[in-house]
C-alpha cells in the first residue's frame, strides 16, 4: 500500500502578520516557516505509524512550493518517509494546488492520501476534498482515528455534536486532525537519514488558478477593554445585555 | 440562471446558520438580478421548506432520498450538480461547516469553479467578484477574487444577522440518479454527545483554562454555562491533561468557534488559543493576572480569582433572567 502525505509550509503559529506592498502581500522578512501542524503531527505521523506496523509500504511526501520550501519538506523527511516530491509552483488557490497534486498522484497511484484538516495560512480546508474529486476517490474530513486493514479504512470523524465511524474502500483521501496520532520530535538518526532520501522536483501540470488574492487587511484594534470589578458581576451582566447585546 | 444554496437540516429542523446561508444567497441573487433556489436533500417536512421563503428563497428543489439524511459527500455533490444544471446556476453556496467543507470543494474541483472558503462578506461586484475571508487563523483578512465563470462559496456561520421577510418558497421535486460510488462510504456508528450544545454552532461559550486549577472545579464553568444556555470549551493543556474531553479544546490545533459571546476563564490568551476564538463578537476575560495577554483581545475584563468570581457571575445571570422574564 502506497501512502501520499500532503505537506504545506506555513508561518510558525506565533508569527505576527505584517503587510507590505500597499497591503497586497505578506511581509515574510523574519517569518519562520514550519510544517503545517495538522500535516506534521497527524497526517505524517499516522502514515509513518502505518508503515512501522507493516501496513503501508512506501510513504511519499508532497509539497507544492518553490525552492524556498525545501528546508521545510526536508524537515518532514527527517521525521520519516521514503521520498519527497516538490511540485515547483507557488499557489494560494486551493483548486490550483489540488490539481498539481492530483496530476502527480495519478502517475504513481496512491492507495491512501493523508492531508491536514486545514492549512493555518489560508484556512481553506479545501485541498483534500478537491483532491478526492479529481482522483475520483472518497474523502473523509475531520478524522480523529484511522485504522487500515486489507483494503478497508475504518475512520472516526467529527460530525456536528458528536462523532461518526465510517468504513471506506481505498483509494481514499483523509483530512486529519487531533487524535489521529501523537506528535513526535525528529531524532538525529532521522535527520541524518533524511539527507540521503530523494527530494524530487517535479514540473507542475498546466493548470490555471481560479481565484486570486487582491489585498489583505489586518483586524482593527479592539476598541479598548472595559474592566468590571470582581464584586460587581451584576454590572457585567448588564453590560453584556444592554451594551454588547449578546445576552 | 439562479443562485443555488445547500440547506441542511438535522432531525427535521433547519438551523439558524442555514437560514443565514439562504439570506446570503438571496442578497447575492438580488444584486446579480436573479433568484434563489434552495436545495434540500433527504427527509424534511414541506412547511419547513416553504419557510425558507422567509429568508428569500423563491424555490426549493427537494431531493427526497432518505439516504441523504446522513452526509454522503459524493451523493450531495451529485445532487447539487444536478440542481445547478437544472437552474443553470453560476453561483453555488454552502456553509463553512463540517458538511459544507466536504461538499463545496468537490463541486469546485468538478466545475473548475473558484472557491472562497469561509466567506465573511457579500461579493464586491465592482472589483470583480471579491469576497473577504479570514486568513492566518484570524490574524488577517484576505480579499479574494473569483475569476472563473462558476463560483462556489462557503459562508462562515454566524456572520450576518437574520432579517425575516414575507414569503413562501415553492417546492419542486428533483430526481437524481445516483451511482454506486455516491454511497461508497458506509456509516458504521454515530455517537452524538447527548444534552450538550455543539461547540461549533454555539452562540455563547464559557471556556476554562489551566487557571481553573483542576477538573474538580469545572462544576463552576458548567453552572455558568447552564445558566446562560452556553456551550463549554477549554484550552489545549486542559484537554491534554484530560481535565476535559478533547472535543472541547479550541485554538490553532483544536476547534474554531465564532460565538456572540466567549467567556474565557483562567486562560492566558496565547496566540494559538486566540486563533480558535478571535472570530467571537464579544470576549470577556476573567483572569487573576492583570498582565495576561488575553486582556488585549477582550471587550470586558474582570481581574480576580476565577473560583470566587464564577459563582457570583452565575448568580448575577440568574437574577438577570428573573428580572427579564
Ligand atoms: C504549535 C502550537 C499549537 C497550540 N495550539 C493550541 C490550541 O489549539 N489551543 C490552546 O489553547 N493552546 C494551544 N497551544 C498552547 C498555547 O501556546 C498555551 O500554552 C495554552 O493556550 C495555555 O493554556 P492556558 O491559558 O489554559 O494555561 P496557562 O498559560 O498556564 O494560563 C493560565 C492562566 O490562568 C490564570 N490563572 C491562574 N489562576 C487563576 C485563578 N485562580 N483565577 C483566574 N485566573 C487564574 C493565569 O494568570 C494564566 O493567565 C499551542 C501551542 C503550540 C506551540
Ligand atoms: N501547497 C501545498 N502543498 C502540499 N499540500 C498542501 C498544500 N496546501 C495545502 N495542502 C494540504 O491540504 C491541506 C488543506 O489545506 P488548505 O485547503 O489549504 O486549508 C493541508 O493540511 C495540506 O495537507
pLDDT tens digits, A38-74: 999 999 999 999 999 999 999 999 999 999 999 999 9
Cell matching residue A77: 523527511
- Ligand 2 pocket test: pick from A10, A97, A142, A204 the residue with the most ligand atoms within 8 Å of its Cβ: A97
Domain containing residue A209: CATH number: 3.40.50.620
The per-residue pLDDT for range A2-31, each reduced to its tens digit, is 999 999 999 998 899 999 999 999 999 999
Mean pLDDT, all residues of chain A: 95
Choosing from B151, B183, B215, the residue where a domain stops is B183
* Inter-chain CB proximity B106 and A11 less than 8 Å: no
- Ligand 2 pocket test: pick from A35, A84, A92, A116 the residue with the most ligand atoms within 8 Å of its Cβ: A116
Q: Does A242 touch chain B (CB under 8 A)?
A: no
Let me know whether B12 and B130 are in one domain.
yes
Domain containing residue B101: CATH number: 3.40.50.620
Residue B11's pLDDT is 84
Instruction: Report the domain count for chain B.
Output: 2
Q: What is the mean pLDDT of residues B171-191?
A: 96
Distance in Å, alpha carbon of B115 to nearest chain A alpha carbon: 7
Residue A195's pLDDT is 84
Residue A185's pLDDT is 82
A127 lines ligand 2 (CB under 6 A): yes
Would residue A198 count as lying in a domain? yes
| B56: three-class secondary structure by DSSP | coil
Tell me whether strands A25-26 and A33-35 are parallel, antiparallel or unpaired.
unpaired
Which residue do the cell numbers 475531520 mark? A142
Residue B200's pLDDT is 83
Residue A161's pLDDT is 84
Mean pLDDT, all residues of chain B: 96
Cell matching residue B36: 434563489
The per-residue pLDDT for range B279-313, each reduced to its tens digit, is 999 999 999 999 999 999 999 999 999 999 999 99
Would residue A239 count as lying in a domain? no
Choosing from B123, B154, B183, the residue where a domain stops is B183
Residues of A in Cβ contact (< 8 Å) with B257: none
Q: Are B69 and B13 in contact (CB under 8 A)?
A: no
Residue A150's pLDDT is 86
Would residue A181 count as lying in a domain? yes
Let me know whether B318 and B175 are in one domain.
no
Residue B109's pLDDT is 98
Residue A146 has pLDDT above 90, yes or no: yes
Would residue B177 count as lying in a domain? yes
Structural domain that includes position A34: 3-220
Residue B98's pLDDT is 95
Stretch among A157-166, A188-197, A231-240, B36-45 having the lowest mean pLDDT: A188-197
Let me know whether B9 and B128 are in one domain.
yes
Chain A to chain B, count of Cβ pairs less than 8 Å apart?
277
Q: What is the mean pLDDT of residues A163-176?
A: 97
- Which among B109, B185, B204 is the nearest to A130, CB-wise? B109
Let me know whether B174 and B250 are in one domain.
no
Let me know whether B140 and B19 are in one domain.
yes
Instruction: Report the domain count for chain A.
Output: 1
- Chain A CA closest to residue B312: A233
Would residue B53 count as lying in a domain? yes
Residue B143 has pLDDT above 80, yes or no: yes
Let me know whether B93 and B235 are in one domain.
no
Cell matching residue B195: 444534552
Please, which residues 96-115 of chain A have a Cβ atom closer than 8 Å to chain B? 98-99
Would residue B126 count as lying in a domain? yes
Residue B89 has pLDDT above 90, yes or no: yes
**Alpha carbon distance A65, B278 (integer Å):** 29
The pTM (predicted TM-score) of the whole model is 0.94
Percentage of the residues of chain B whose pLDDT score is greater than 90: 91
Cell matching residue B159: 456572520
Residue A158 has pLDDT above 90, yes or no: yes
A6 lines ligand 2 (CB under 6 A): yes
Would residue A123 count as lying in a domain? yes
Residue B241 has pLDDT above 80, yes or no: yes
Residue B111's pLDDT is 97
Choosing from B183, B207, B236, the residue where a domain stops is B183
Would residue A112 count as lying in a domain? yes
Residue B195 has pLDDT above 80, yes or no: no
Cα distances (angstroms) measured from residue B197 to each of A63, A161, B3, B204: 38, 7, 31, 10
Structural domain that includes position B285: 199-323
Domain containing residue B286: CATH number: 3.40.50.1220
Let me know whether B107 and B168 are in one domain.
yes
Q: Does A241 touch chain B (CB under 8 A)?
A: yes
Let me know whether B145 and B8 are in one domain.
yes
Amino acid at each position: 500500500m502506497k501512502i501520499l502525505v500532503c505537506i504545506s509550509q506555513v508561518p510558525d503559529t506565533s508569527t505576527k502578520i505584517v503587510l507590505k506592498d500597499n497591503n497586497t502581500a505578506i511581509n515574510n522578512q523574519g517569518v519562520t516557516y514550519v510544517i503545517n501542524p495538522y500535516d506534521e503531527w497527524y497526517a505524517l505521523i499516522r502514515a509513518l505509524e502505518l508503515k512501522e506496523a507493516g501496513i503501508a509500504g512506501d510513504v511519499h511526501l508532497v509539497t507544492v512550493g518553490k525552492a524556498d520550501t525545501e528546508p521545510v519538506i526536508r524537515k518532514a523527511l527527517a521525521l520519516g518517509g521514503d521520498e519527497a516530491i516538490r511540485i515547483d509552483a507557488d499557489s494560494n488557490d486551493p483548486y490550483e494546488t489540488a490539481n498539481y497534486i492530483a496530476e502527480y498522484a495519478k502517475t504513481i497511484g496512491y492507495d491512501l492520501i493523508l492531508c491536514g484538516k486545514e492549512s493555518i495560512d489560508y484556512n481553506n480546508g479545501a485541498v483534500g476534498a478537491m483532491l478526492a474529486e479529481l482522483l475520483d476517490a472518497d474523502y473523509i474530513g475531520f478524522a480523529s482515528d484511522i485504522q487500515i486493514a486489507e483494503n478497508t479504512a475504518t475512520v472516526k470523524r467529527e460530525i456536528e455534536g458528536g462523532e461518526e465511524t465510517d468504513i471506506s474502500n481505498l483509494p481514499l483521501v483523509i483530512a486529519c486532525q487531533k487524535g489521529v496520532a501523537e506528535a513526535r520530535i525528529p531524532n538525529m538518526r532521522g535527520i541524518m537519514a533524511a539527507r540521503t532520501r530523494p527530494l524530487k522536483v517535479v514540473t507542475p501540470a498546466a493548470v490555471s488558478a481560479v481565484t486570486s488574492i487582491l489585498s489583505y487587511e489586518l483586524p482593527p484594534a479592539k476598541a479598548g477593554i472595559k474592566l468590571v470589578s470582581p464584586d460587581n458581576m451584576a454590572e457585567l451582566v448588564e453590560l453584556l445585555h444592554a451594551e454588547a447585546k449578546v445576552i | 440562471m439562479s443562485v443555488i444554496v445547500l440547506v441542511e437540516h438535522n432531525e427535521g429542523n433547519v438551523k439558524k446558520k442555514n437560514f443565514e446561508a439562504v439570506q446570503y444567497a438571496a442578497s447575492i441573487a438580488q444584486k446579480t438580478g436573479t433568484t434563489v433556489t434552495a436545495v434540500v436533500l433527504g427527509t424534511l417536512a414541506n412547511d419547513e421548506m416553504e419557510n425558507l421563503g422567509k429568508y428569500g428563497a423563491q424555490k426549493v428543489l427537494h431531493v427526497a432520498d432518505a439516504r441523504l439524511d446522513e452526509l454522503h459527500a459524493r451523493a450531495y455533490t451529485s445532487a447539487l450538480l444536478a440542481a445547478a444544471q437544472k437552474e443553470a446556476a453560476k453561483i453555488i453556496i454552502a456553509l463553512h461547516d463540517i458538511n459544507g467543507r466536504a461538499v463545496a470543494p468537490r463541486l469546485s474541483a468538478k466545475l473548475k469553479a473558484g472557491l472562497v472558503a469561509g466567506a465573511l462578506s457579500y461579493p464586491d461586484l465592482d472589483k470583480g467578484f471579491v469576497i473577504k475571508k479570514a486568513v492566518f487563523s484570524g490574524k488577517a483578512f484576505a480579499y479574494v477574487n473569483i475569476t472563473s465563470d462558476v463560483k462556489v462559496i462557503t459562508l462562515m456561520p454566524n456572520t450576518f444577522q437574520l432579517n425575516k421577510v414575507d414569503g413562501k418558497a415553492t417546492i419542486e421535486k428533483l430526481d437524481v440518479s445516483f451511482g454506486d460510488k455516491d454511497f461508497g462510504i458506509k456509516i458504521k456508528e454515530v455517537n452524538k454527545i447527548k444534552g450538550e450544545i455543539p461547540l461549533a454552532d454555539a452562540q455563547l461559550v464559557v471556556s476554562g483554562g489551566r487557571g481553573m486549577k483542576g477538573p474538580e472545579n469545572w462544576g463552576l464553568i458548567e453552572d455558568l454555562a447552564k445558566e446562560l444556555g452556553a456551550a463549554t470549551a477549554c484550552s489545549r493543556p486542559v484537554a491534554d491533561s484530560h481535565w476535559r474531553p478533547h472535543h472541547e479544546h479550541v485554538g490553532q490545533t483544536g476547534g474554531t468557534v465564532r460565538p456572540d459571546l466567549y467567556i474565557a476563564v483562567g486562560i492566558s490568551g496565547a496566540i494559538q488559543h486566540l486563533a480558535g476564538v478571535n472570530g467571537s463578537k464579544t470576549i470577556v476575560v476573567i483572569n487573576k493576572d492583570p498582565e495576561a495577554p488575553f486582556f488585549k483581545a477582550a471587550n470586558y475584563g474582570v481581574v480576580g480569582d476565577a473560583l470566587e468570581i464564577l459563582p457570583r457571575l452565575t448568580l448575577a445571570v440568574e437574577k438577570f433572567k428573573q428580572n427579564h422574564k
